[in-house]
Structure 1
Amino acid sequence: MSTSSLLTRPGQIPLDEEYQKNTGITPEDIAQLRAWLDTQPHLPAGHITDLDLILAYHCCNKSFAVAKEVLDLNLTLRTLFTNYFKNRTIEKPFPGFDSCLFTPLDIRTKSGQAVFYARLIDYDPKNFNFCSAVKAYLMVTDIWQYKEGTWPGFVFMIDLDRIVLSHLTKLDIQTMQQFLYFLQEGMLVKLQGLHFLNAPSFMDKLMMIIKPFLKKELMEVLHIHQIGSRSLEEFVPMAGLPKDAGGEFKTIEQCSKDIIAVVNANADYFIAESNKRVVEAKRPGKPKTISDIFGGVEGSFKKLDID
């Protein structure tokens, strides 16, 4: 079944379908994680699904110890990062979806990893809101995991077509730091690649902004593809890109319409997701704050799974 079909089917991926994947994860594993979760007074155990536990356990290479830390961190960041995880609905205007496209592609990398594609669709820098774009991206990836479950790996492709220097002035450092931290440390995926397509002449300036927040492991699988280059073909079939981005997939406009329709059709998911928040007053020991997260207290629990 194609990604497009999976996104439009009702509800989450059936657990029996997820367990049939070649992950080695069993219901007994998840029961063990559930037993631990029930002992954590600050975590919303009643709202955490078995699929949530599967995603956490899988992205940590089936390490119970690491999965516990990463699930706690994921929920903590969802609680603290209110700019991205509060009021998750599409209301007009919504700068994130109006100015950017965020969509899964039907293709997989040559290593079988899932591929996520992002690009501008409104090229006027005045209409670009980076915080809203991050919020939209996280909404789509949440729905994608809800529908598809685990993937062997996750590759993020950012098409910089028609980006200009004025867009860079909208990339505030706090949002960049929080987004890249969540992407690398708190997101329940095996992040295995980051590709920049159609790199502009000022790509060095963009790298100066993001490099301080990238882990060494991600830097090793970061690939920059120049305008007109076909170097992406080494990793994924370029035919899988949108039609007006050099591929044979749907048009960019149709991709955008389809994703907005999927997000709107799953409003109930986001209502349920809004309950997956930490009650810091109940956390054993000291409650956590954003200062704790970025003050070096947390350290790094999750290792990027790089082949």
Structure 2
Amino acid sequence: MPDIRPLPEDLQKIAIEQLNEVPQRLDADLLALRTWIEQQPHLRARTDDQFLVGFLRGCKYSLEKAKSKLDKFYTLRTKYPDFYMIRDVDSERMQELVRMGVGVPLPIPLHENGPRLIYVRPGLYPADRYTFDDVMAVANTMNNLTLLLDDYALVNGLITLLDFTDYSGAHLLQMTPTVMKKMTIFAEEAMPVRDKGTHMIHTNAAFEAVFNVMRPLMPAKKQERLSVHGSNLEALYAYIPQKYLPKHLGGEQGCIDTLKEGQWNTFQKYRDYLRDELKYGVDEKLRPGGQQIDYDHLFGVDGSFRKLNVD
């Protein structure tokens, strides 16, 4: 028997009907993916069942897609570690950013058993103390724990609610084309958690300036999943009923302080796991055939939006 958490009956039904999961074949599917990993001289990856089943589910049990995502997951984390992971979980500075709760998961999935909801406030952190790379290091670290812990996210995907309250020109200047490409490529090609939509509220001129420039750079599917509601929360309710929002937005998902505390407690509980993550990655010198992706060329030269008028 595979060493994974049993899914609740409703989630197991979805995994079978929508993700092509065959419980009787799960051992064989996990063995096939684990065997492939062990045959890759350049790849140091986790091989425990709970980790691997996340990639299989996120790729609807396409072994080739799971291989590709696993390889890119570790390749990108090795090449750009300061963007894709917290390298020192004992750093007081990074712990402060975790406690700040720029992005927090909401405890109840949409419609009780649907996608996991993530509430993100990109204008919350002080832009004179932290870079957006720091924020993404925290976000990607917590997403790594999502792979370990959150069956609703792994089976049904994620819906992101972006609240641009207090988003400023200083935050905007940190959003470069390279940053956007690092975010979208990792989400699309390396993470096995499916994007089920992004909804933006309380947008302002600073947001609109960067969004209008960045949107064409995003994959077509990503663009289709984006909805901008401004201050019209009634429009948001058509996608996310009000009860599933945090308390300060009129919902029933708890107050911000409680949500932040929950995320901090999860981070604290799994600090040893996150330390252990540092030993996994790739060694490009050992990659078979020497066929590595030139991510530096793909991401391009970093720039900024300093010439944009965002006042």
Bucket of the pairwise TM-score, normalised by the shorter protein: 0.7 to 0.9
Query: Equivalent residue for 1:288?
Result: 292
CA distance 1:170–1:98, shift in 2 (3 Å): farther
CA contact (8 A) 1:99 1:120 kept: no
Letter of the 1:143 counterpart: L
**Correspondence 1:198 to 2:212:** no
Report 1:132-281 matches (<5 A): 132-149=134-151, 150-281=154-285
CA contact (8 A) 2:182 2:299 kept: no
Letter of the 2:4 counterpart: L
Letter of the 2:105 counterpart: P
CA distance 1:290–1:171, shift in 2 (3 Å): same
* In structure 1, distance between residues paired with 2:82 and 2:242: 34
Letter of the 1:65 counterpart: E
Query: Equivalent residue for 2:43?
Result: 43
CA contact (8 A) 1:197 1:225 kept: yes
Query: Equivalent residue for 1:130?
Result: 132
* In structure 2, distance between residues paired with 1:123 and 1:32: 43
CA distance 1:61–1:41, shift in 2 (3 Å): same
Query: Equivalent residue for 2:107?
Result: 106
Query: Equivalent residue for 1:89?
Result: 89
CA contact (8 A) 1:101 1:252 kept: no
**Correspondence 1:17 to 2:1:** no
| Superimposed CA distance per residue, residues 155-190 of structure 1 (whole angstroms, 9 cap, x where no aligned partner) | 222111121233201223322221221112111211
* In structure 2, distance between residues paired with 1:245 and 1:44: 43
CA distance 1:33–1:125, shift in 2 (3 Å): closer
What is the TM-score normalised by the length of structure 2?
0.81
| Superimposed CA distance per residue, residues 32-77 of structure 1 (whole angstroms, 9 cap, x where no aligned partner) | 21122221111125x3322222111111121111111111111111
CA contact (8 A) 1:102 1:140 kept: no
* In structure 1, distance between residues paired with 2:125 and 2:82: 23
* In structure 2, distance between residues paired with 1:271 and 1:128: 22
Query: Equivalent residue for 2:18?
Result: none
Worse-matched range after superposition: 163-172 or 219-228: 163-172
Identical residues among aligned pairs (%): 22
**SS of equivalent residue, structure 1 residue 161:** coil
* In structure 2, distance between residues paired with 1:123 and 1:106: 22
| Superimposed CA distance per residue, residues 227-273 of structure 1 (whole angstroms, 9 cap, x where no aligned partner) | 14222212222222222233232222232222122102211110222
* In structure 2, distance between residues paired with 1:295 and 1:129: 18
Displacement of 1:225 in angstroms is: 1.3
Letter of the 1:137 counterpart: A
List gaps (5 residues or longer) in structure 2. Answer: 16-20, 301-311
CA distance 1:245–1:162, shift in 2 (3 Å): farther
Q: Of Structure 1 and Structure 2, which has the larger fraction of its residues in helix? A: 2
List gaps (5 residues or longer) in structure 1. Answer: 1-13, 297-307
For these two proteins, the number of residue pairs brought into alignment is 283
CA distance 1:261–1:219, shift in 2 (3 Å): same
* In structure 2, distance between residues paired with 1:224 and 1:90: 37
Query: Equivalent residue for 2:31?
Result: 31
What is the TM-score normalised by the length of structure 1?
0.82
* In structure 1, distance between residues paired with 2:27 and 2:146: 22
CA distance 1:41–1:231, shift in 2 (3 Å): same
Letter of the 1:119 counterpart: R
Provide the alpha-carbon RMSD of the alignment: 2.7
**SS of equivalent residue, structure 1 residue 35:** helix
